[in-house]
A = this chain, B = another copy of it.
Amino acid sequence: MPTSPLPPTAWAVLGLLSFPGERTGYELKKWADASLRFFYGAPAFSQIYAELRRLERLGYVTSRRSGPEEPRAKRAYAITPAGRDALADWAAGGTGAEDAAADAVTLRHPVVLRVWLGHLAAPERLRALVEEHLARTEGELKEVRDALARADGVEAWAHPQIALRWSERHLLAEVELTRGLLADLEALPPADGGAGQPPPDSPTDG
């Protein structure tokens, strides 16, 4: 049967469970914060618990309570063979005719959005925002390097390490991109008020 059309986040949560061992929702969240976060984003606790319930309903995971039947007892999840099959199917790009649009990278960059609107802001203020972003990104780079250091040398976890290495390079690129932004902003001539033509990339001249 074809893989059910689950959102990537569901596959991400199932993916967390595809590595050996049982895990609680809480543990999954912590791990997502330390790895998934850098290239996909980490879902909120509430969403992880919701996805786990859905995955269990689909038979992709099973759960086991540690204590007796208390309503909120600690609950450990494990992937099932069906779950592993479905996940492998998704990881390979889905069975047969796959919608390429589903693989589209989503990027939402509020800092560049503000720069795009730069004609409305004081130049120093804009530069300050970009510099804050630079500092934040450097902080994230440090975090991904820590994660990488913890992972380094464990040859059995090759793929997560490749993803982490991608994340490191990605953040490094983001740092460079941000410096480029700063340089472009500094190279701008002082504002001269005016400007009345339609935007250059508006559809009217395309």
Beta-carbon contact of B184 and A92 below 8 Å: no
Beta-carbon contact of A195 and B108 below 8 Å: no
Beta-carbon contact of B181 and A166 below 8 Å: yes
List B contacts of A188 (CB < 8 A).
158, 162
A122 smallest CB distance to B (angstroms): 7
Q: How many copies does the complex hold?
A: 2
List B contacts of A76 (CB < 8 A).
none
List B contacts of A162 (CB < 8 A).
115-116, 118, 181, 184-185, 188
Beta-carbon contact of B177 and A170 below 8 Å: yes
Interface residue from B90, B113, B166, B198 paired with A177 (Cβ < 8 Å): B166
Chain A interface helix/strand/loop/mixed:
helix
Binding site for B on A (CB under 8 A): 8, 11-12, 15, 18-21, 27, 30-31, 34-36, 39-41, 84, 87-88, 90-93, 100, 102-122, 125-126, 128-129, 132-133, 136, 147, 150-152, 154, 156-167, 169-170, 173-174, 176-177, 180-181, 184-185, 188-189, 194-206
Q: Would you mind naming 21 contact pairs between A and B with Cβ atoms under 8 Å apart?
A: A11-B113, A20-B195, A27-B203, A31-B199, A84-B120, A92-B114, A93-B125, A103-B132, A106-B106, A116-B159, A116-B163, A150-B201, A154-B197, A156-B197, A158-B189, A160-B200, A162-B184, A164-B201, A166-B177, A166-B180, A173-B173
Given A15-B117, A106-B106, A152-B200, 17 extra CB contacts under 8 A: A30-B203, A31-B203, A36-B116, A40-B112, A87-B117, A88-B120, A92-B126, A102-B110, A103-B111, A104-B110, A106-B108, A118-B159, A154-B200, A156-B195, A156-B197, A166-B177, A169-B177
